[in-house]
């Protein structure tokens, strides 16, 4: 659905994307994970042809792309409905059922409010309506939960699950927070310093890494009992294991009971700093 080959982008003599190659398959939701400044937004802009680049970005013929990149920009003194109507006219969409759209995105009561009077969560949802009003094949969302309160994050997750995941659209959703992406992504990929490092794990069968230090008096029999169901990657005093979320949680509970010091606990607690060690 999106094929990227040797993509590079430079800005003010600094390379922000470096020889990036990846194929985003149709009907999948990809979580693009990386710290701030890693190149996530630049990648989206290159896909949308908003920045000059070398290499190639190819989508299926006649594929349409909806996007919400950075802050959702609208006219501050126009209402939600006026803003959407104006945008629809730009892309030659007429006779749209805006009432249905507002209802689906929980904005029915705000449709006559001016954009400047909306909360951040409402602005993000309005941006999503605009991104999806032409029923796109591909959706690009740049940190859609950034800055939202817990209720706003919950609402955004539900909308993404309902409108993108259930509809089997192709989507790339960026974040610098691992736990946000595991809620809906099929595949997580890690970007760092403009380089796409590769697949991290498939979140439908979630895998993470736990690094454990055993104290000197820990007997070897205790170590052996954890070789199944989790897998030992390096059988030493310090080693890494991998398993799904439930297996890792059970492993950590046993570590606590045996007075072991765990450095990285479960995939839900793993952060960008932790992933640098993988």
Task: Write down the architecture of domain 204-269 according to CATH.
Answer: 2-Layer Sandwich (3.30)
C-alpha closest to that of 201 among 215, 190, 217, 213: 190
pTM as predicted: 0.72
CB 164 within 8 A of CB 128: no
Domain boundaries, the chain: 2-63+137-182, 80-117, 204-269
The domain covering 2-63+137-182 belongs, at the CATH homologous superfamily level, to: P-loop containing nucleotide triphosphate hydrolases (3.40.50.300)
> What is the pLDDT, as a whole number, of residue 70?
82
> ∠ at Cα 89 (85, 92), nearest 5°?
135
DSSP string, 207-224: -EEEEEEPPTT--HHHHH
Opening angle at CA 6, ends 3 and 8, nearest 5: 110
Return d(Cα 92, Cα 97) in angstroms, integer. 14
Query: What is each CA distance from 181 to 32, 171, 207, 214, in whole angstroms?
Result: 8, 12, 13, 31
- Segments in the chain below pLDDT 70: 198-278
Residues 270, 182: Cα–Cα separation, whole Å? 11
Whole-number pLDDT of residue 97: 87
Measured CA distances, 81 to 77, 89, 121 (Å): 12, 12, 17
Residue 221 CA to residue 139 CA, distance in Å, equals 50
- Between CA 93 and CA 127 the distance in angstroms is 16
How far the first Cα of the chain sits from its last, in Å, is 29
For the chain, give the mean pLDDT.
Answer: 76
């Amino acid at each position: 659905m999106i094929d990227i080959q040797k993509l590079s982008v430079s800005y003010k003599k600094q390379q922000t994307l470096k020889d990036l190659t990846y194929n985003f398959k149709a009907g999948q939701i990809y979580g693009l994970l990386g710290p701030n400044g890693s190149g996530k937004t630049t990648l989206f802009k290159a896909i949308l042809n908003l920045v000059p680049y070398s290499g190639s970005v190819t989508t299926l013929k006649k594929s349409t792309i909806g996007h919400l990149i950075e802050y959702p920009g609208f006219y501050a003194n126009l209402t939600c409905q006026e803003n959407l109507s104006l945008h629809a006219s730009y892309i030659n969409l007429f006779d749209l059922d805006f009432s249905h759209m507002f209802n689906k995105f929980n904005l029915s009561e705000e449709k006559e409010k001016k954009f400047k009077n909306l909360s951040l969560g409402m602005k993000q949802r309005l941006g999503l309506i605009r991104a999806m009003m032409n029923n796109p094949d591909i959706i690009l969302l740049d940190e859609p939960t950034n800055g939202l309160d817990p209720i706003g994050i919950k609402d955004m997750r539900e909308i993404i699950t309902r409108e993108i995941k259930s509809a089997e659209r192709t989507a790339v959703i960026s974040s610098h927070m691992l736990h946000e992406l595991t809620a809906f992504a099929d595949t997580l990929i890690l970007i760092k310093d403009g380089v796409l490092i590769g697949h991290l794990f498939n979140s439908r069968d979630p895998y993470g890494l736990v690094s454990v230090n055993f104290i000197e008096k820990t007997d070897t029999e205790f170590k052996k009992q954890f070789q199944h169901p989790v897998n030992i990657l390096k059988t030493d005093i310090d080693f890494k294991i991998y398993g799904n979320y439930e297996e890792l949680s059970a492993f950590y509970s046993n570590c606590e009971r045996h007075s072991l010091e765990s450095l990285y606990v479960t995939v839900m607690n793993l952060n960008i700093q932790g992933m640098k060690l993988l």
